[in-house]
Amino acid sequence: MPEAASDNPLRFHLVNRPVPDPCIIVIFGATGDLTRRKLIPALYNLAADGNLPSSFAVVCFARREKTSESFREELGEAARKYSRRPLNDELWTRFAADIFYHRSSFDQTEGYTTLRDELNAIDQRLGTRGNRLYYLASSPTEFDIILENLSASGLNQAKPGAWSRIIVEKPFGTDLPSAQRLNDAVSSAFPECDTFRIDHYLGKETAQNIMVLRFANTVFEALWNRRYVDNVQITASEPLGVESRAGYYEHSGALRDMVQNHLLQLLCLTAMEPPIDLGADAVRNEKVKVMQALRPLTGAAVAENVVRAQYTEGFINGHEVPGYRHEPGVAPESMTETYVALRLHIDNWRWAGVPFFMRVGKRLPKSGTEIAIQFRGTPPVLFNRESKLQDPNVLVIRIQPDEGISFRMAAKMPGTMLQLEPVKMDFHYGTSFGKATPEAYERLLLDAMSGDATLFARRDEVEHAWTFIDHIREAWKDSSAPRLDFYPAGSWGPRQADELLSQDHAVWRRL
């Protein structure tokens, strides 16, 4: 007899995701881009799919002079533009009726007292039962003062029977000391179990599928180790330039903007051991172990294993684009890297000796994020007797766009000759399941409302990642460090990144 879903907690979790409790989301810094481009469209889509709790409201806390009515209109225009499904006017009107604007500066204690009154009044009116999800979406320089005021006003404390949680948007610090300070500030107001450090890459459907691919199939995991894997390549490529974000990006650069968080998270999911269950701590414990086994790159090892570069003028999709140093807000002599390639080693039983290559860059020819597991070649006999006759197998996990998984293998070309050709087995999310993939923020907001922190970074994960990144940045400051390289916009990065792989007889996969 099939097991009743409720008899097995794991099955219950998989089959019936918990419906989030009624709650209010309070977004600090709600007039910023994140709210209009990501958060409100994500919440609207959750509403359209019937995934929001029965009683729900959004309170937008920001400094600018606005009313709830005028802000709803602005958000409506943004949602029309950025929502993954077309806006349904009736549904939007119903959803937007429970969005409220609360005007205050972040350092004004009174703003928090009036916020508390407003939240209590919404509880009375809508039945949101005292549950609060605070979202730090302001500039990170404001995080401290917001946290202080949440504590001072008691808003961080849940009422009996209710919960109070916080989501912290990236960047989570700019180095280890600042991340530790921020962790301390957050933990003085909220316990770790109520803290949700967002990394939107973890909410991407295919990133979540890495664990399913590995641990819900028999064939892959058996090969997922140093005996069969030659190298692993993780690529995140964007044709976009720095756009209007020079103010942030000039101080961040690609290493801190993308590698410290998104790429290291993908690496952990790819390399980790099977967790003992699917709970937040079990999964995150395994990810932390990968970070602990990551060979630190310090001193001369940085020159040998890391390439950094910046784009110069070039062509993207046939259009001429300026070099990074000519982008608005960028210093004419800027040394900020817009591209990084790294060779990493995970010194544990499973991965010893297998290079993990990563590359990330802006103004590259194509948009694409993928993880490619390159398997070892067959022995040099039979079909592989002559070099280059046979390409080794590659398993590619496409995180975006065209989410899916493909496997390259050798096949005989039809005909009387014995000729081998690489062929692909290809799985596309879109066509296989015939439904649109939810945006990362939809999943993550829902998980935070349900209290599930599996797809959020834990304190120690973030701190390990910063330790690794800080060593590299420290080595770059040394006068003997290799200079910044340059690549034309629209190319696949500097020659030095190709050389990094050729030392291991590997080449970057073509996207």
Q: Measured from the CB atom, is 131 or 369 closer to ligand BG6?
A: 369
Nearer to ligand BG6 by C-beta: 200 or 308?
200
Pairing of strands 368-375, 229-237: antiparallel
Please report where in the chains the tokens 């950025």 appear, as a residue.
82
Task: Kindly state the smallest distance separating residue 201's Cβ from ligand BG6, in Å.
Answer: 7
Cα separation of 9 and 16, whole Å? 10
Instruction: Tell me how far, at minimum, the Cβ of 152 lies from ligand BG6, in Å.
Output: 31
In the three-class reduction of DSSP (H, G, I as helix; E, B as strand; rest coil), residue 485 is classed as: strand
Site string for ligand BG6, 88-107 (x = CB under 6 A): --------------------
Taking residues 163 to 202 in sequence order and writing x for each that binds ligand BG6 by CB under 6 A, - otherwise, the string is: -------x-----------------------------x--
Residue placing its CB nearer to ligand BG6 in the complex, 132 or 363: 363
Distance CA 132, CA 67 (A): 22
Of the candidates 251, 262, 471, 505, the residue annotated as catalytic is 262
Residue 96: HSE in the Cβ half-sphere, 13 Å Cα cutoff:
22
Minimum Å gap between C-beta 360 and ligand BG6 is 9
Check binding of 205 to ligand BG6 (CB under 6 A): no
Q: Which long-range contacts (CB under 8 A, 24 or more apart) does 172-177 make?
A: 172/197, 172/261, 172/457, 172/462, 173/140, 173/462, 173/466, 174/251, 174/252, 174/256, 175/466, 175/469, 175/470, 175/473, 176/463, 176/466, 176/467, 176/470
Is residue 238 within the footprint of ligand BG6 (CB under 6 A)?
Answer: yes
By CB under 6 A, tell whether 257 contacts ligand BG6: yes
Pick the closer one to ligand BG6 by CB: 38 or 72: 38
Beta carbon nearer to ligand BG6, 34 or 475: 34
Judged by CB under 6 A, the number of residues near ligand BG6 is 5
Q: Binding of ligand BG6 at residue 447 (CB under 6 A)?
A: no
Give the HSE-up count for residue 417: Cα atoms under 13 Å, Cβ half-sphere: 4
For residue 359, what are its two tokens? 């590359």
200 is catalytic: no
- Shortest distance, position 362 Cβ to ligand BG6, whole Å: 7
The Cα-based distances of 221 to 373, 384, 403, 405, 429 in angstroms read 12, 25, 21, 15, 21
- Residue 167, number of CB atoms within 10 A of its CB: 22
Q: Does 391 bind ligand BG6 (CB under 6 A)?
A: no
Closest residue to ligand BG6, judged by C-beta, is: 257
| Catalytically annotated residues | 262
Residues in contact with ligand BG6 by the rule CB under 6 A: 170, 200, 238, 257, 369
